[in-house]
Structure 1
Amino acid sequence: MFKTTMLSPSSVDGMSPTFDAIGLAVADMATSLKFYRRLGLDIPAESDHGPHAEATLPGGIRLMFDAQPDSAGPKNGPSLAFLCEHASEVDKVYADLSDAGYVTTRAPWDAEWGQRYAVLKDPDGYQVELFAWLPKS
């Protein structure tokens, strides 16, 4: 379903798989990539019209996008969480995406577990969470 690269034989022989990628099926590649670029991902513009795109996240994990117009969107699927540097950044990014017309699920709030949190949907309906640690009181 998703384009992946082969693990080296030593990884398989040594029974030490390494988590490498998260794959999302998307209905409209350009629309989805525009959303994730607003969240700071570096995705080449030429990917907008291809069947596959990916961005390497901090730490080396890849976020992959595959154009599958007939089967895109979550089926009780994953959520993606983006760490913001400060609580005010959660509010700012949430407002930017909301003002741009993206679907919001829950406005920013101070969660009982010590984080500023907000929840939106990407263009394919995947849940996207924004969070930042609150200062300890």
Structure 2
Amino acid sequence: MAKLDLFGLVVKDMAASLQFYRLLGLDIPAEMDSEGHVEITLSGGLRLAWDTLDVILSFNDAWETPVGHRMGLAFLCDSPAEVDKLHTDVVTAGYGSHKPPWDAFWGQRYAQVKDPDDNIVDLFAPLT
């Protein structure tokens, strides 16, 4: 039986993308900024990877940039206040806000930011 082991992002600028995800708490060594392929193992054992366009095109010359909301990543925060702070930190660092923090009807504090490749990344925490 197959097991989900890795999910990956295709990026235009490795250093910019890794810096964004460091702001969200991922431990990515700075020396990886100049690599074409980077991967880390998350706490549950699942791996997250980044590949530059050059790397992707080296084995898939038919690859095309997707249009629209291509994927979703959501980061669980410790509290509603952390959602607000992390949103502010990301925007202050020069990255885009897709939707500022709000109290969602499903019982979570929620916000959405954009990574350097315009992927929407959710930040959330339970309201109670």
Task: State the TM-score, normalizing by the size of structure 1.
Answer: 0.82
Q: Count residues with an aligned counterpart.
A: 120
Say if 1:25 and 1:65, in contact at 8 Å, map to a contact too: yes
**Quick one: distance in 2 between partners of 1:67 and 1:52?**
7
The AA in structure 1 aligned to 2:102 is: W
Unaligned 5+ segments in structure 2 are 58-62
Is structure 2 residue 106 aligned with structure 1 residue 113? yes
Deviation at 1:72, TM superposition (A): 8.3
In structure 2, the residue corresponding to 1:90 is in which secondary structure?
helix
Deviation at 1:57, TM superposition (A): 1.6
**Which residue pairs with 1:50 in the alignment?**
35
The AA in structure 1 aligned to 2:110 is: Y
Structure 1 residues 73 and 133: CA distance shift in structure 2, 3 A: farther
Structure 1 stretch 65-74 or stretch 39-48: which is displaced more?
A: 65-74
**Which residue pairs with 1:37 in the alignment?**
22
The AA in structure 1 aligned to 2:17 is: S
Deviation at 1:58, TM superposition (A): 2.1
Structure 1 residues 113 and 94: CA distance shift in structure 2, 3 A: same
Structure 1 residues 87 and 55: CA distance shift in structure 2, 3 A: same
The AA in structure 2 aligned to 1:21 is: L
- Computing the radius of gyration from Cα coordinates, the structure with the larger value is 1
Task: State the TM-score, normalizing by the size of structure 2.
Answer: 0.87
**Which residue pairs with 2:5 in the alignment?**
20
In structure 1, the residue corresponding to 2:51 is in which secondary structure?
strand
Structure 1 residues 134 and 67: CA distance shift in structure 2, 3 A: same
Deviation at 1:54, TM superposition (A): 1.2
Superposed CA RMSD in Å reads: 1.7
Unaligned 5+ segments in structure 1 are 1-15
In structure 2, the residue corresponding to 1:18 is in which secondary structure?
coil
